[in-house]
Amino acid sequence: MNLYITREPREKLKKAFLNMRKQHVIDVQEIIEKFGYKEPLDAYSGFLVNEEIKNQIKQVSRANRVHSIIYSNENLNEEIIRFIIFFVNENTDIQDVVFLTEENQDEEYYELFNGVSLFPAIKKIHIMDCRQIESTLFRWIHGLSED
């Protein structure tokens, strides 16, 4: 199972991908609204929202009902990304954390992730697990010796 992190809202995800029923979307804005909080969050309400996000990630990662988790937060920043990646690596069996973004957007965050997946130019495709491919061309370009 992969965790995809994006700043795009649920509506954009629904327009871009066909198999959204197989994905669990954690929309931070929906959680804040569900709890009845207003932004900016104080320390107490921020703690409760973070606990809900962590609980959802833990519960969904244990279940076999979905293919992946999509974390959606329009206020995404480096601190949030680092916290989620650390939490996932320490507390779940999620294989990869992948950044889901538009082309040429938020490139400063690419290095924090195991992979980057771009929103499709063609609407309504299946979201797939991203896997890193190590080719001989990549090795040759970077001067690495072959095994």
Question: Which has more confidence, 64 or 74?
Answer: 74
Residues 4 and 100 sit within 8 Å (Cβ to Cβ)? yes
DSSP 64-122: SS-SEEEEE-TT--HHHHHHHHHHHHHH----EEEEEE-TTSSGGGGGGSSEEEEPPSS
- Please identify, in words, the CATH class of the domain defined by 2-141: alpha beta
Give the pLDDT mean for 44-70.
94
- For position 135, what pLDDT does the model report? 43
Residues 1 and 127 sit within 8 Å (Cβ to Cβ)? no
Does pTM top 0.85 for this prediction? no
Question: What six digits make up the tokens of 140?
Answer: 């040759």
DSSP state of 40: S
Residues 125 and 141 sit within 8 Å (Cβ to Cβ)? no
